[in-house]
Structure 1
Amino acid sequence: MTSPASASRASASPASPRTPAETRPALILGARSDMGRAVAHLLAAEGRPILLAGRDVAALERDAADIAARHRVEARALAWDAADLAGHAAWLDALPETPGVVLSAVGLLGDQEATQEDPARIAEIVTANFTGPAVALEAAAVRLAALPGPTAVIGIASVAGDRGRARNYWYGAAKGGFATMLSGLRQRFAGTDLLVMTVKPGFVATAMTEGMDLPAPLTLTAEAQAELIVRALRKRRAKVMHWKWALLMSVIRNLPEAIFLRTRF
Protein backbone atom coordinates (compact mmCIF):
# COMPACT_ATOMS: atom_id res chain seq x y z
CA MET A 1 0.00 0.00 0.00
CA THR A 2 1.33 3.44 -0.86
CA SER A 3 1.34 6.32 1.59
CA PRO A 4 0.26 9.96 1.21
CA ALA A 5 2.81 12.60 0.38
CA SER A 6 2.38 16.06 1.84
CA ALA A 7 1.65 19.16 -0.20
CA SER A 8 0.81 22.80 0.28
CA ARG A 9 -2.27 23.64 2.29
CA ALA A 10 -4.46 26.63 2.97
CA SER A 11 -7.54 27.03 5.10
CA ALA A 12 -10.85 26.59 3.32
CA SER A 13 -13.23 29.52 3.30
CA PRO A 14 -16.52 28.51 1.66
CA ALA A 15 -18.74 31.28 0.42
CA SER A 16 -21.93 29.67 1.77
CA PRO A 17 -22.90 26.94 4.27
CA ARG A 18 -22.52 23.41 2.97
CA THR A 19 -23.75 20.00 4.08
CA PRO A 20 -21.32 17.73 5.99
CA ALA A 21 -20.85 15.61 2.85
CA GLU A 22 -19.93 18.71 0.84
CA THR A 23 -17.18 19.64 3.27
CA ARG A 24 -15.42 16.34 2.70
CA PRO A 25 -12.50 16.22 0.26
CA ALA A 26 -12.77 15.41 -3.43
CA LEU A 27 -10.38 12.61 -4.37
CA ILE A 28 -9.10 12.64 -7.95
CA LEU A 29 -7.60 9.33 -9.09
CA GLY A 30 -5.28 9.72 -12.03
CA ALA A 31 -4.98 13.39 -11.14
CA ARG A 32 -2.22 14.15 -13.64
CA SER A 33 -4.78 13.89 -16.44
CA ASP A 34 -5.88 17.22 -17.89
CA MET A 35 -9.54 16.50 -17.19
CA GLY A 36 -8.86 15.35 -13.66
CA ARG A 37 -6.83 18.44 -12.91
CA ALA A 38 -9.52 20.70 -14.41
CA VAL A 39 -12.23 19.09 -12.27
CA ALA A 40 -10.03 19.50 -9.19
CA HIS A 41 -9.74 23.24 -9.81
CA LEU A 42 -13.50 23.64 -10.25
CA LEU A 43 -14.31 21.72 -7.07
CA ALA A 44 -11.63 23.61 -5.16
CA ALA A 45 -13.18 26.87 -6.34
CA GLU A 46 -16.36 25.73 -4.57
CA GLY A 47 -14.39 25.30 -1.34
CA ARG A 48 -13.76 21.56 -1.33
CA PRO A 49 -10.46 20.20 -0.03
CA ILE A 50 -8.67 18.29 -2.78
CA LEU A 51 -6.75 15.01 -2.79
CA LEU A 52 -4.70 14.40 -5.94
CA ALA A 53 -3.70 10.76 -6.41
CA GLY A 54 -1.38 9.17 -8.95
CA ARG A 55 2.07 7.75 -9.57
CA ASP A 56 3.97 11.00 -10.21
CA VAL A 57 3.83 12.43 -6.71
CA ALA A 58 6.38 15.18 -7.36
CA ALA A 59 4.24 16.58 -10.18
CA LEU A 60 1.09 16.19 -8.09
CA GLU A 61 2.67 18.14 -5.26
CA ARG A 62 3.20 21.05 -7.63
CA ASP A 63 -0.42 20.81 -8.76
CA ALA A 64 -1.60 20.66 -5.15
CA ALA A 65 0.42 23.76 -4.27
CA ASP A 66 -1.14 25.59 -7.20
CA ILE A 67 -4.68 24.57 -6.19
CA ALA A 68 -4.09 25.58 -2.58
CA ALA A 69 -2.71 28.97 -3.58
CA ARG A 70 -5.42 29.73 -6.13
CA HIS A 71 -8.47 28.55 -4.22
CA ARG A 72 -7.45 28.75 -0.54
CA VAL A 73 -8.36 25.15 0.22
CA GLU A 74 -6.35 22.26 1.59
CA ALA A 75 -4.77 20.26 -1.25
CA ARG A 76 -2.62 17.16 -0.87
CA ALA A 77 -0.72 14.82 -3.16
CA LEU A 78 -1.05 11.06 -2.66
CA ALA A 79 0.90 8.18 -4.15
CA TRP A 80 -1.51 5.78 -5.88
CA ASP A 81 -1.26 3.19 -8.65
CA ALA A 82 -4.32 2.00 -10.57
CA ALA A 83 -2.59 -1.33 -11.21
CA ASP A 84 -2.43 -2.16 -7.47
CA LEU A 85 -5.81 -3.89 -7.52
CA ALA A 86 -5.38 -5.71 -4.23
CA GLY A 87 -4.38 -2.52 -2.43
CA HIS A 88 -7.20 -0.13 -3.35
CA ALA A 89 -9.51 -0.86 -0.42
CA ALA A 90 -6.77 -0.62 2.20
CA TRP A 91 -5.43 2.54 0.53
CA LEU A 92 -8.83 4.20 0.90
CA ASP A 93 -9.10 3.09 4.51
CA ALA A 94 -5.71 4.68 5.25
CA LEU A 95 -6.88 8.13 4.17
CA PRO A 96 -7.25 10.55 7.10
CA GLU A 97 -10.85 11.23 6.02
CA THR A 98 -13.26 9.46 3.68
CA PRO A 99 -13.86 11.69 0.65
CA GLY A 100 -17.30 12.95 -0.35
CA VAL A 101 -16.49 12.69 -4.06
CA VAL A 102 -14.18 10.24 -5.83
CA LEU A 103 -13.42 10.78 -9.51
CA SER A 104 -11.45 8.35 -11.66
CA ALA A 105 -9.74 10.19 -14.49
CA VAL A 106 -7.38 7.28 -15.23
CA GLY A 107 -6.91 6.49 -18.89
CA LEU A 108 -4.38 5.08 -21.34
CA LEU A 109 -5.08 5.32 -25.07
CA GLY A 110 -2.10 3.26 -26.19
CA ASP A 111 -1.17 2.31 -29.74
CA GLN A 112 -3.70 -0.06 -31.31
CA GLU A 113 -1.33 -1.67 -33.81
CA ALA A 114 1.35 -2.22 -31.17
CA THR A 115 -1.23 -3.49 -28.69
CA GLN A 116 -3.37 -5.92 -30.65
CA GLU A 117 -0.78 -8.73 -30.80
CA ASP A 118 1.00 -8.03 -27.52
CA PRO A 119 -0.66 -9.58 -24.44
CA ALA A 120 1.38 -7.41 -22.06
CA ARG A 121 0.19 -4.22 -23.74
CA ILE A 122 -3.38 -5.53 -23.79
CA ALA A 123 -3.23 -6.17 -20.06
CA GLU A 124 -1.85 -2.67 -19.49
CA ILE A 125 -4.67 -1.07 -21.50
CA VAL A 126 -7.36 -3.11 -19.76
CA THR A 127 -5.93 -2.45 -16.29
CA ALA A 128 -5.58 1.30 -16.84
CA ASN A 129 -8.99 1.82 -18.41
CA PHE A 130 -11.14 -0.85 -16.76
CA THR A 131 -10.03 -3.08 -13.93
CA GLY A 132 -7.94 -0.53 -12.01
CA PRO A 133 -10.56 2.25 -11.96
CA ALA A 134 -13.42 -0.24 -11.55
CA VAL A 135 -11.94 -1.93 -8.49
CA ALA A 136 -11.05 1.44 -6.95
CA LEU A 137 -14.51 2.94 -7.51
CA GLU A 138 -16.27 -0.16 -6.21
CA ALA A 139 -14.28 0.09 -2.99
CA ALA A 140 -14.94 3.83 -2.84
CA ALA A 141 -18.68 3.38 -3.44
CA VAL A 142 -19.10 1.07 -0.45
CA ARG A 143 -17.38 3.58 1.81
CA LEU A 144 -19.08 6.70 0.48
CA ALA A 145 -22.55 5.13 0.57
CA ALA A 146 -22.11 4.67 4.34
CA LEU A 147 -21.62 8.41 4.88
CA PRO A 148 -24.47 10.77 5.76
CA GLY A 149 -25.56 13.11 3.00
CA PRO A 150 -25.06 13.15 -0.78
CA THR A 151 -21.81 11.61 -2.05
CA ALA A 152 -20.58 10.64 -5.50
CA VAL A 153 -18.25 8.34 -7.39
CA ILE A 154 -17.52 9.45 -10.95
CA GLY A 155 -15.92 7.41 -13.71
CA ILE A 156 -14.62 8.86 -16.96
CA ALA A 157 -15.38 6.28 -19.64
CA SER A 158 -15.49 7.13 -23.37
CA VAL A 159 -17.76 7.13 -26.39
CA ALA A 160 -15.19 4.70 -27.82
CA GLY A 161 -16.77 2.04 -25.63
CA ASP A 162 -20.14 2.27 -27.37
CA ARG A 163 -19.05 0.43 -30.52
CA GLY A 164 -15.74 -1.20 -31.37
CA ARG A 165 -13.65 0.34 -34.13
CA ALA A 166 -10.55 -1.12 -35.76
CA ARG A 167 -8.42 1.88 -34.84
CA ASN A 168 -8.86 1.59 -31.05
CA TYR A 169 -10.85 -1.51 -30.12
CA TRP A 170 -8.76 -2.52 -27.09
CA TYR A 171 -9.12 0.95 -25.58
CA GLY A 172 -12.79 0.98 -26.52
CA ALA A 173 -13.40 -2.49 -25.08
CA ALA A 174 -11.84 -1.50 -21.77
CA LYS A 175 -13.79 1.76 -21.57
CA GLY A 176 -16.98 -0.06 -22.54
CA GLY A 177 -16.45 -2.56 -19.75
CA PHE A 178 -15.87 0.30 -17.32
CA ALA A 179 -19.13 1.97 -18.34
CA THR A 180 -21.02 -1.32 -17.91
CA MET A 181 -19.52 -1.78 -14.45
CA LEU A 182 -20.59 1.75 -13.47
CA SER A 183 -24.12 1.02 -14.70
CA GLY A 184 -24.30 -2.04 -12.46
CA LEU A 185 -22.82 -0.12 -9.53
CA ARG A 186 -25.45 2.60 -10.05
CA GLN A 187 -28.25 0.04 -9.86
CA ARG A 188 -26.67 -1.55 -6.80
CA PHE A 189 -26.77 1.75 -4.91
CA ALA A 190 -30.05 3.05 -6.33
CA GLY A 191 -32.18 4.59 -3.61
CA THR A 192 -29.18 5.70 -1.55
CA ASP A 193 -27.51 9.11 -1.31
CA LEU A 194 -24.60 7.88 -3.43
CA LEU A 195 -24.52 9.14 -7.00
CA VAL A 196 -22.69 6.89 -9.46
CA MET A 197 -21.89 9.01 -12.51
CA THR A 198 -20.68 7.81 -15.90
CA VAL A 199 -18.93 10.39 -18.08
CA LYS A 200 -18.50 9.63 -21.77
CA PRO A 201 -16.33 12.25 -23.45
CA GLY A 202 -15.75 12.36 -27.16
CA PHE A 203 -12.67 14.10 -28.49
CA VAL A 204 -10.96 16.19 -25.83
CA ALA A 205 -7.81 18.19 -26.43
CA THR A 206 -5.50 16.77 -23.77
CA ALA A 207 -1.97 15.45 -23.45
CA MET A 208 -3.34 11.98 -24.31
CA THR A 209 -4.65 13.17 -27.68
CA GLU A 210 -1.77 15.51 -28.49
CA GLY A 211 -0.65 15.11 -32.10
CA MET A 212 -3.97 13.60 -33.22
CA ASP A 213 -5.93 15.31 -36.00
CA LEU A 214 -9.14 16.02 -34.07
CA PRO A 215 -12.17 17.63 -35.75
CA ALA A 216 -12.57 21.06 -34.17
CA PRO A 217 -16.42 21.09 -34.10
CA LEU A 218 -16.45 17.88 -32.04
CA THR A 219 -13.48 18.59 -29.77
CA LEU A 220 -13.77 20.05 -26.28
CA THR A 221 -11.07 21.47 -24.07
CA ALA A 222 -10.38 19.67 -20.81
CA GLU A 223 -11.83 22.67 -18.98
CA ALA A 224 -15.09 22.53 -20.96
CA GLN A 225 -15.44 18.80 -20.26
CA ALA A 226 -14.73 19.43 -16.57
CA GLU A 227 -17.48 22.04 -16.46
CA LEU A 228 -19.96 19.47 -17.81
CA ILE A 229 -18.93 17.04 -15.06
CA VAL A 230 -19.17 19.53 -12.20
CA ARG A 231 -22.48 20.90 -13.47
CA ALA A 232 -23.85 17.34 -13.58
CA LEU A 233 -22.54 16.72 -10.06
CA ARG A 234 -24.43 19.75 -8.77
CA LYS A 235 -27.62 18.51 -10.47
CA ARG A 236 -27.01 14.89 -9.34
CA ARG A 237 -27.12 13.59 -12.90
CA ALA A 238 -25.94 10.03 -13.50
CA LYS A 239 -24.80 10.31 -17.12
CA VAL A 240 -22.73 12.96 -18.86
CA MET A 241 -22.22 13.23 -22.61
CA HIS A 242 -22.01 16.41 -24.67
CA TRP A 243 -25.15 16.83 -26.77
CA LYS A 244 -23.21 16.72 -30.05
CA TRP A 245 -21.75 13.35 -29.14
CA ALA A 246 -25.09 12.08 -27.87
CA LEU A 247 -26.57 12.72 -31.32
CA LEU A 248 -23.60 11.29 -33.19
CA MET A 249 -23.37 8.15 -31.07
CA SER A 250 -27.08 7.47 -31.40
CA VAL A 251 -26.47 7.20 -35.15
CA ILE A 252 -23.26 5.15 -34.83
CA ARG A 253 -24.76 2.68 -32.36
CA ASN A 254 -27.70 2.02 -34.68
CA LEU A 255 -25.87 1.67 -37.98
CA PRO A 256 -26.46 -1.77 -39.51
CA GLU A 257 -23.34 -3.91 -39.16
CA ALA A 258 -22.86 -4.22 -42.92
CA ILE A 259 -22.71 -0.42 -43.24
CA PHE A 260 -20.65 0.06 -40.08
CA LEU A 261 -17.96 -2.32 -41.33
CA ARG A 262 -17.37 -0.09 -44.34
CA THR A 263 -16.97 3.12 -42.34
CA ARG A 264 -13.59 4.58 -41.42
CA PHE A 265 -14.46 7.24 -38.84
Structure 2
Amino acid sequence: MHRVIIIGATSAIAEATARRYAARGARLYLIARRAQRLEDLAQDLKIRGAADVAFGTLDVNHHAAHVDAFAKAWSWLEKVDVVLIAHGTLPDQSECERSADHAVSEFNTNGTATISLMTIAATELEAQRHGVLAVISSVAGDRGRQSNYLYGAAKAAVSTFASGMRQRLAKVGVTVITIKPGFVDTPMTQHFQKGALWAKPDAIARGIVRAVDRRRSVIYLPWFWSIIMLIIRHIPEPIFKRIKL
Protein backbone atom coordinates (compact mmCIF):
# COMPACT_ATOMS: atom_id res chain seq x y z
CA MET A 1 0.00 0.00 0.00
CA HIS A 2 1.38 3.36 -1.02
CA ARG A 3 1.55 6.18 1.52
CA VAL A 4 1.49 9.46 -0.36
CA ILE A 5 1.78 13.15 0.48
CA ILE A 6 0.53 15.57 -2.17
CA ILE A 7 1.24 19.29 -1.87
CA GLY A 8 -0.91 21.54 -4.02
CA ALA A 9 -3.44 18.72 -3.86
CA THR A 10 -6.36 20.71 -5.29
CA SER A 11 -4.60 21.52 -8.58
CA ALA A 12 -5.99 19.66 -11.58
CA ILE A 13 -2.90 17.50 -12.12
CA ALA A 14 -2.59 16.68 -8.41
CA GLU A 15 -6.27 15.73 -8.14
CA ALA A 16 -5.97 13.41 -11.12
CA THR A 17 -2.86 11.82 -9.62
CA ALA A 18 -4.56 11.40 -6.25
CA ARG A 19 -7.47 9.60 -7.93
CA ARG A 20 -5.05 7.12 -9.50
CA TYR A 21 -3.45 6.39 -6.14
CA ALA A 22 -6.87 6.13 -4.52
CA ALA A 23 -7.80 3.45 -7.03
CA ARG A 24 -4.77 1.50 -5.79
CA GLY A 25 -5.97 1.69 -2.20
CA ALA A 26 -3.32 4.16 -1.09
CA ARG A 27 -3.30 6.21 2.12
CA LEU A 28 -3.21 9.87 1.15
CA TYR A 29 -2.32 13.06 2.99
CA LEU A 30 -3.38 16.15 1.06
CA ILE A 31 -1.97 19.66 1.53
CA ALA A 32 -3.37 22.81 -0.08
CA ARG A 33 -4.81 26.20 0.87
CA ARG A 34 -8.58 25.68 0.92
CA ALA A 35 -9.94 23.48 3.71
CA GLN A 36 -13.41 22.98 2.22
CA ARG A 37 -11.99 21.98 -1.15
CA LEU A 38 -9.65 19.54 0.58
CA GLU A 39 -12.50 18.03 2.58
CA ASP A 40 -14.57 17.52 -0.58
CA LEU A 41 -11.61 15.96 -2.36
CA ALA A 42 -10.86 13.66 0.57
CA GLN A 43 -14.41 12.32 0.54
CA ASP A 44 -14.23 11.75 -3.22
CA LEU A 45 -10.95 9.85 -2.91
CA LYS A 46 -12.36 7.57 -0.21
CA ILE A 47 -15.25 6.69 -2.51
CA ARG A 48 -12.72 5.94 -5.25
CA GLY A 49 -10.94 3.38 -3.09
CA ALA A 50 -8.37 5.16 -0.93
CA ALA A 51 -7.60 3.25 2.27
CA ASP A 52 -7.72 6.51 4.21
CA VAL A 53 -7.35 10.24 3.53
CA ALA A 54 -6.34 13.13 5.77
CA PHE A 55 -5.47 16.71 4.93
CA GLY A 56 -3.88 19.88 6.21
CA THR A 57 -3.97 23.47 4.99
CA LEU A 58 -0.89 25.41 3.94
CA ASP A 59 -0.07 28.61 2.10
CA VAL A 60 3.20 27.60 0.43
CA ASN A 61 4.41 31.21 0.54
CA HIS A 62 4.40 31.01 4.34
CA HIS A 63 7.77 29.27 4.57
CA ALA A 64 7.76 29.16 8.36
CA ALA A 65 4.80 26.76 8.23
CA HIS A 66 6.46 24.21 5.94
CA VAL A 67 8.13 22.15 8.65
CA ASP A 68 4.95 21.84 10.70
CA ALA A 69 2.91 20.86 7.63
CA PHE A 70 5.30 18.00 6.87
CA ALA A 71 5.51 16.97 10.52
CA LYS A 72 1.74 16.50 10.67
CA ALA A 73 1.70 14.54 7.42
CA TRP A 74 4.56 12.27 8.46
CA SER A 75 3.05 11.70 11.88
CA TRP A 76 -0.26 10.61 10.37
CA LEU A 77 1.27 8.34 7.71
CA GLU A 78 4.17 7.10 9.91
CA LYS A 79 6.12 6.12 6.79
CA VAL A 80 6.00 7.85 3.39
CA ASP A 81 6.53 6.23 0.01
CA VAL A 82 5.85 9.20 -2.28
CA VAL A 83 5.90 12.98 -1.89
CA LEU A 84 4.46 14.88 -4.84
CA ILE A 85 4.97 18.65 -4.94
CA ALA A 86 2.43 19.99 -7.40
CA HIS A 87 1.52 23.55 -6.44
CA GLY A 88 2.07 26.54 -8.70
CA THR A 89 0.69 29.56 -10.51
CA LEU A 90 0.94 30.79 -14.08
CA PRO A 91 2.25 34.36 -13.79
CA ASP A 92 1.20 37.24 -16.01
CA GLN A 93 4.51 37.88 -17.74
CA SER A 94 3.55 41.45 -18.64
CA GLU A 95 2.76 42.24 -15.00
CA CYS A 96 6.06 40.67 -13.95
CA GLU A 97 7.85 43.00 -16.37
CA ARG A 98 6.08 46.05 -14.92
CA SER A 99 6.41 45.21 -11.24
CA ALA A 100 9.50 43.87 -9.49
CA ASP A 101 7.38 43.06 -6.43
CA HIS A 102 5.02 40.95 -8.55
CA ALA A 103 7.93 39.21 -10.27
CA VAL A 104 9.58 38.30 -6.96
CA SER A 105 6.26 37.13 -5.49
CA GLU A 106 5.60 34.81 -8.44
CA PHE A 107 9.17 33.50 -8.37
CA ASN A 108 8.73 32.76 -4.68
CA THR A 109 5.56 30.74 -5.29
CA ASN A 110 6.90 28.74 -8.23
CA GLY A 111 10.56 28.51 -7.26
CA THR A 112 11.65 29.38 -3.73
CA ALA A 113 8.66 27.81 -1.96
CA THR A 114 9.12 24.61 -3.94
CA ILE A 115 12.81 24.45 -3.05
CA SER A 116 11.95 24.92 0.63
CA LEU A 117 9.41 22.11 0.54
CA MET A 118 11.79 19.82 -1.35
CA THR A 119 14.49 20.42 1.24
CA ILE A 120 12.24 19.45 4.13
CA ALA A 121 10.81 16.42 2.33
CA ALA A 122 14.30 15.25 1.36
CA THR A 123 15.47 15.37 4.96
CA GLU A 124 12.63 13.09 6.04
CA LEU A 125 13.05 10.68 3.12
CA GLU A 126 16.80 10.52 3.66
CA ALA A 127 16.25 9.62 7.32
CA GLN A 128 14.02 6.68 6.40
CA ARG A 129 16.32 5.75 3.45
CA HIS A 130 13.39 5.04 1.21
CA GLY A 131 10.86 6.81 -0.97
CA VAL A 132 10.27 9.02 -3.97
CA LEU A 133 10.22 12.80 -4.14
CA ALA A 134 8.46 13.90 -7.32
CA VAL A 135 8.27 17.58 -8.19
CA ILE A 136 6.39 19.22 -11.03
CA SER A 137 8.67 21.56 -12.94
CA SER A 138 7.91 22.52 -16.56
CA VAL A 139 9.26 22.47 -20.09
CA ALA A 140 9.31 26.27 -19.65
CA GLY A 141 12.42 25.85 -17.51
CA ASP A 142 14.47 24.41 -20.38
CA ARG A 143 15.04 27.80 -22.05
CA GLY A 144 13.88 31.31 -21.25
CA ARG A 145 11.30 32.58 -23.72
CA GLN A 146 9.86 36.08 -23.94
CA SER A 147 6.31 34.88 -23.34
CA ASN A 148 6.93 33.39 -19.87
CA TYR A 149 10.52 33.82 -18.75
CA LEU A 150 9.67 34.61 -15.11
CA TYR A 151 7.82 31.31 -14.82
CA GLY A 152 10.56 29.58 -16.81
CA ALA A 153 13.27 30.96 -14.54
CA ALA A 154 11.49 29.64 -11.44
CA LYS A 155 11.04 26.22 -13.00
CA ALA A 156 14.66 26.17 -14.18
CA ALA A 157 15.71 26.75 -10.57
CA VAL A 158 13.51 23.86 -9.42
CA SER A 159 14.88 21.53 -12.11
CA THR A 160 18.51 22.35 -11.30
CA PHE A 161 17.87 21.96 -7.58
CA ALA A 162 16.20 18.59 -8.20
CA SER A 163 19.14 17.45 -10.32
CA GLY A 164 21.62 18.03 -7.51
CA MET A 165 19.30 16.54 -4.93
CA ARG A 166 18.77 13.46 -7.13
CA GLN A 167 22.52 12.84 -7.28
CA ARG A 168 22.86 13.28 -3.50
CA LEU A 169 19.92 11.10 -2.44
CA ALA A 170 20.50 8.26 -4.90
CA LYS A 171 23.23 7.07 -2.54
CA VAL A 172 20.70 6.42 0.24
CA GLY A 173 17.95 4.81 -1.83
CA VAL A 174 15.74 7.88 -2.37
CA THR A 175 14.54 8.74 -5.90
CA VAL A 176 14.02 12.35 -7.01
CA ILE A 177 11.90 12.79 -10.13
CA THR A 178 11.67 16.00 -12.16
CA ILE A 179 8.34 16.13 -14.01
CA LYS A 180 8.22 18.47 -16.99
CA PRO A 181 4.73 18.85 -18.44
CA GLY A 182 4.05 20.80 -21.59
CA PHE A 183 0.70 22.47 -22.24
CA VAL A 184 -2.01 21.08 -19.93
CA ASP A 185 -5.72 21.90 -20.16
CA THR A 186 -6.50 23.04 -16.62
CA PRO A 187 -8.42 25.92 -15.00
CA MET A 188 -5.09 27.75 -14.80
CA THR A 189 -4.85 27.75 -18.61
CA GLN A 190 -8.53 28.23 -19.43
CA HIS A 191 -7.91 31.50 -21.30
CA PHE A 192 -5.50 29.85 -23.76
CA GLN A 193 -6.61 28.57 -27.15
CA LYS A 194 -6.10 24.80 -27.12
CA GLY A 195 -4.54 22.74 -29.89
CA ALA A 196 -2.96 19.39 -30.71
CA LEU A 197 -0.09 19.82 -28.23
CA TRP A 198 -2.40 20.16 -25.23
CA ALA A 199 -2.86 17.28 -22.78
CA LYS A 200 -5.54 16.53 -20.21
CA PRO A 201 -4.64 16.35 -16.50
CA ASP A 202 -5.37 12.62 -16.30
CA ALA A 203 -2.84 11.91 -19.06
CA ILE A 204 -0.21 13.79 -17.05
CA ALA A 205 -1.25 11.95 -13.88
CA ARG A 206 -0.86 8.61 -15.62
CA GLY A 207 2.67 9.59 -16.62
CA ILE A 208 3.51 10.73 -13.09
CA VAL A 209 2.39 7.46 -11.49
CA ARG A 210 4.27 5.46 -14.13
CA ALA A 211 7.42 7.52 -13.54
CA VAL A 212 7.18 6.87 -9.79
CA ASP A 213 6.66 3.15 -10.35
CA ARG A 214 9.69 3.00 -12.64
CA ARG A 215 11.87 5.30 -10.51
CA ARG A 216 12.57 7.62 -13.43
CA SER A 217 14.81 10.69 -13.09
CA VAL A 218 13.48 13.28 -15.55
CA ILE A 219 10.29 12.88 -17.52
CA TYR A 220 8.61 15.05 -20.14
CA LEU A 221 4.82 14.75 -20.36
CA PRO A 222 3.54 13.96 -22.88
CA TRP A 223 6.73 12.31 -24.17
CA PHE A 224 6.96 14.34 -27.39
CA TRP A 225 7.90 17.46 -25.43
CA SER A 226 11.37 15.98 -24.98
CA ILE A 227 11.86 16.27 -28.75
CA ILE A 228 10.29 19.74 -28.97
CA MET A 229 12.47 21.10 -26.18
CA LEU A 230 15.59 19.44 -27.58
CA ILE A 231 15.04 21.47 -30.75
CA ILE A 232 14.26 24.70 -28.86
CA ARG A 233 17.34 24.35 -26.65
CA HIS A 234 19.58 24.04 -29.70
CA ILE A 235 18.32 27.02 -31.69
CA PRO A 236 21.34 29.37 -32.02
CA GLU A 237 20.99 32.51 -29.92
CA PRO A 238 21.17 34.96 -32.88
CA ILE A 239 18.20 33.17 -34.46
CA PHE A 240 16.39 32.64 -31.14
CA LYS A 241 16.39 36.39 -30.44
CA ARG A 242 14.51 37.07 -33.67
CA ILE A 243 11.71 34.52 -33.32
CA LYS A 244 8.58 34.72 -31.18
CA LEU A 245 8.07 31.92 -28.66
TM (norm. structure 2) is 0.94
Q: What's 1:198 paired with?
A: 178
- Tell whether 2:8 aligns with 1:30: yes
Alpha-carbon distance between aligned partners in 2 of 1:87 and 1:63, rounded to the nearest angstrom: 22
**Alpha-carbon deviation of 1:239?**
1.1
Alpha-carbon distance between aligned partners in 2 of 1:134 and 1:245, rounded to the nearest angstrom: 24
- Tell whether 2:75 aligns with 1:94: no
Q: What's 2:156 paired with?
A: 176
Aligned counterpart for 2:28 among listed residues 26, 50, 58: 50
Alpha-carbon distance between aligned partners in 1 of 2:107 and 2:132, rounded to the nearest angstrom: 24
Code of the residue aligned with 2:83 in structure 1: it is V
Alpha-carbon distance between aligned partners in 1 of 2:69 and 2:207, rounded to the nearest angstrom: 29
Aligned pairs (5 A) from 1:1-265: 22=2, 25-95=3-73, 96=75, 97-147=78-128, 150-216=130-196, 218-241=197-220, 242-265=222-245
**Alpha-carbon deviation of 1:156?**
0.3
Alpha-carbon distance between aligned partners in 2 of 1:202 and 1:255, rounded to the nearest angstrom: 19
Alpha-carbon distance between aligned partners in 1 of 2:195 and 2:239, rounded to the nearest angstrom: 22
Alpha-carbon distance between aligned partners in 1 of 2:166 and 2:69, rounded to the nearest angstrom: 23
The alignment yields a C-alpha RMSD, in angstroms, of 1.4
Alpha-carbon distance between aligned partners in 2 of 1:100 and 1:81, rounded to the nearest angstrom: 23
- Structure 2: tracts of 5 or more residues without a match: none
Code of the residue aligned with 1:233 in structure 2: it is V
TM (norm. structure 1) is 0.87
Contact 2:21 2:50 in 1 (8 A): no
Code of the residue aligned with 2:65 in structure 1: it is G
Code of the residue aligned with 2:230 in structure 1: it is S
Code of the residue aligned with 1:40 in structure 2: it is A
Q: What is the aligned-residue identity percentage?
A: 36
Alpha-carbon distance between aligned partners in 1 of 2:155 and 2:205, rounded to the nearest angstrom: 18
SS at match of 2:226: helix
**Alpha-carbon deviation of 1:89?**
2.0
Contact 2:136 2:178 in 1 (8 A): yes
Code of the residue aligned with 2:61 in structure 1: it is A
For residues 140-196 of structure 1, give each alpha carbon's deviation from its aligned partner in whole angstroms, at most 9, with x where no partner exists: 111012225x41111100000111111111011001111111111111112222110
SS at match of 1:212: coil
**Alpha-carbon deviation of 1:100?**
2.0
SS at match of 2:30: strand
Contact 2:81 2:132 in 1 (8 A): yes
Contact 2:58 2:65 in 1 (8 A): no
The structure-2 alpha-carbon separation of the partners of 1:199 and 1:72, relative to structure 1 and needing over 3 Å to count, comes to: closer
How many pairs align? Answer: 241
Alpha-carbon distance between aligned partners in 2 of 1:47 and 1:27, rounded to the nearest angstrom: 14
For residues 116-150 of structure 1, give each alpha carbon's deviation from its aligned partner in whole angstroms, at most 9, with x where no partner exists: 121221122111111111111111111012225x4
**Alpha-carbon deviation of 1:214?**
3.0
Q: What's 1:6 paired with?
A: none
Contact 1:98 1:143 in 2 (8 A): no
**Alpha-carbon deviation of 1:98?**
4.5
SS at match of 1:251: helix
